[in-house]
């Protein structure tokens, strides 16, 4: 199983910088709470924060829907919840990839019940072809084809997460 290059690290760096600048403009004068979705978003979130020019706080959630396979199970559950209260705060969920939309739709519903001032989504990758529920992220790094991707924090069975580029894995079942 040999990864095939999709986005080199230089292209990723430029796009993450653009997203950070856009988010900083949109939230100028406010403190933002970034909520990283573990495990895949941690590298993207770290780079995103380093490119921002506004004050922000950080927390994490872990949401399970894949298990050990390459297809979403359709069952979504929060396995690590936020430690920070979000009522009245501006919240930006930072995700590695939006696929079916089920995970983020569920997470958004849970977080909206906690009455934040606002809640939006920033995703590194968006795979619209696979949507099972209507969902649109406010900030998107790259739209990608319906291929399984790894690198820059994304994995396949905990492998390939370390790659600095985003690569496609062909022929996985």
Active-site pick, 47, 90, 96, 99 = 99
C-alpha 159: how far from chain center: 18
- Contact at 8 Å (CB) between 173 and 5? no
> Is 99 designated active site?
yes
Show the CA angle centred on residue 102, arms to residues 98 and 107, nearest 5°. 90
Q: At what angle do helices 42-50 and 9-26 cross, to 10 degrees?
A: 60
Q: Where in the sequence numbering do the catalytic residues fall?
A: 99
């Amino acid at each position: 199983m040999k990864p095939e290059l999709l986005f080199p690290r230089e292209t990723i760096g430029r796009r993450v910088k653009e997203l950070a600048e856009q988010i900083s403009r949109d939230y100028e004068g406010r403190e933002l709470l970034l909520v990283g979705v573990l495990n895949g978003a941690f590298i993207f979130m770290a780079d995103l924060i380093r490119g921002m020019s506004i004050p922000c706080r950080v927390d994490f959630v872990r949401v399970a829907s894949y298990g050990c396979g390459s297809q979403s199970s359709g069952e979504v559950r929060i396995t690590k919840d936020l430690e920070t209260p979000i009522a009245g705060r501006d919240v930006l969920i930072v995700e590695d990839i939006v696929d079916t939309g089920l995970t983020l739709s569920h997470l958004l519903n849970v977080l909206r019940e906690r009455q934040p001032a606002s809640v939006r989504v920033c995703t590194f990758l968006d795979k619209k072809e696979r949507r099972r529920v209507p969902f649109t992220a406010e900030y998107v790094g790259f739209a990608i084809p319906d291929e399984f991707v790894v690198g820059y924090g994304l994995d396949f069975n905990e492998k390939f997460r370390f790659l600095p580029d985003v690569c496609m894995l062909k022929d996985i079942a």
